[in-house]
Structure 1
Amino acid sequence: MIVALLNQKGGVGKTTLALNLAGEWAKRGKRVTLIDADPQGSALDWSEARNWEGLPRLFGVVGLACDTLHREAPELAQSTDHVVIDGPPRVAGLMRSALLAADLDLIPVQPSPLDGWASAEMLALVNEARIYRPQLIARFVLNRCGARTMIARDTAEALSENDPPVLARTIGQRVAFASAAQFGRLVGELEKDTPGAREIAALASEIDRLGIERSGL
């Protein structure tokens, strides 16, 4: 399965989700490759920090910030169980290529009306990609949610009326994610059974239950 985390809006936590989902699947015994398709290279920086800290490699990280992802990602998928694409903001050509490669498009949004409005551009790209890949599945995922905030509930309700729908599992606004990333770690490696680690595990399980299988163009 190829999972692309994409949103035209920056700062929604795509890299954090991509890294931690890849790590969770690797922990479950899956062969995982993460493609850093963001020209900023944050996932590659995380991988270098991990190497510097002498931590074991959990999954491969490769830099492919180019509009040939729809050809190169499926080749990587032949030797792995999951390919996770950390996509760029505001690079339409790269996003189109990632969508053509993906089996599942995850659209991270923060609990804010602004994020909901900004998603319209992303949905237009998804609909465009479905002309060529009608089997492409897309889901919103609420990220960086404050605990029990009304705005998070309102955003979830607003997104539930859309196609694509929103995943039931949400990820909280937690300092632990940034603290872990600074030293090339995943949130579950700081301490066992933390709220952040449980949220990532629940999100990965929800995605697994979608039963998505790899399909070609």
Structure 2
Amino acid sequence: MIVALLNQKGGVGKTTLALHLAGEWAGQGCRVSLIDADPQGSALDRSQQRAREGLPRRFGVIGLARDTLHREAPELARDRDHVVIDGPPRVAGLMRSALLAADLVLIPVQPSPFDGWASAEILSLLQEARIYRPQLVARFVLNRCAARTVIARETAKTLADHDPPVLNATIGQRVAFADAAQSGRLVSELDDGSPAAREITVLCAEVGRIAP
């Protein structure tokens, strides 16, 4: 299965979610690769930071920030259980290629009306991709979410009636993710019983259930 995390708005947590999904699957014994399709190379940087810290490699990270991704990713997926694509912000050619490569698209958004408006561009590209890939599945995922705030509830309610729909699993605004990023670790490696680690496990399970 190829899962792409895409949103043309930067700063919504695509890289964090991509790394943690890949790490969760790898921890379950799956064969996983992560494709860094962002020209900024944030996932590759995190992988290199992990190596500098002397941490074992849990999954491979490959830089493929080019618009031939839809041809190269399926080849890579042949001997993998999962391929996770960390998508680019605001690079239409790369975005289209990632959409054509994916079996499932996750669109991270933060609980803010501004994120909803910014998602209009990726939804337009998704509609375009479905002309060629009518079976392409997509979901919003609420990230950096303070679950008890009014705006979080309103965002979830708005997306509940949306196409694509929103996942039930949400990821909180937690310091653990920033702490983990500093050393290239995953939140489960800091504390596998933490709320952040549990949220990633729940997210991964839900993604697995809806996978085409």
Give me the TM-score of the superposition, normalised by structure 2.
Answer: 0.99
> 1:211, CA displacement in angstroms?
3.9
The aligned counterpart of 2:9 is: 9
Give me the TM-score of the superposition, normalised by structure 1.
Answer: 0.96
How do 1:157-196 and structure 2 match up within 5 A?
Answer: 157-196=157-196
Determine the C-alpha separation between the residues in 2 that align with 1:81 and 1:185: 22
The aligned counterpart of 2:57 is: 57
Moved over 3 A (4+): none
Determine the C-alpha separation between the residues in 2 that align with 1:84 and 1:139: 15
Name the count of aligned residue pairs.
212
Q: Is the 8 A contact 2:36 2:62 kept in 1?
A: yes
How do 1:89-104 and structure 2 match up within 5 A?
Answer: 89-104=89-104
- What CA deviation, in whole Å up to 9, does each residue of 1:120-153 have, x standing for no partner? 1110000000000001000000000014111001
Which stretches in structure 2 are left out of the alignment for 5+ residues? none
The aligned counterpart of 1:111 is: 111
Q: Is the 8 A contact 2:103 2:211 kept in 1?
A: no
The aligned counterpart of 1:48 is: 48
2:74 is aligned with 1:74: yes
> 1:117, CA displacement in angstroms?
1.1
Determine the C-alpha separation between the residues in 2 that align with 1:132 and 1:147: 37
The aligned counterpart of 1:134 is: 134
Q: Percent identity?
A: 76
Q: Is the 8 A contact 2:147 2:153 kept in 1?
A: no
Determine the C-alpha separation between the residues in 2 that align with 1:144 and 1:53: 26
Which stretches in structure 1 are left out of the alignment for 5+ residues? 213-217
The aligned counterpart of 2:87 is: 87
Determine the C-alpha separation between the residues in 1 that align with 2:211 and 2:127: 21
2:14 is aligned with 1:19: no
2:182 is aligned with 1:205: no
> 1:119, CA displacement in angstroms?
1.0
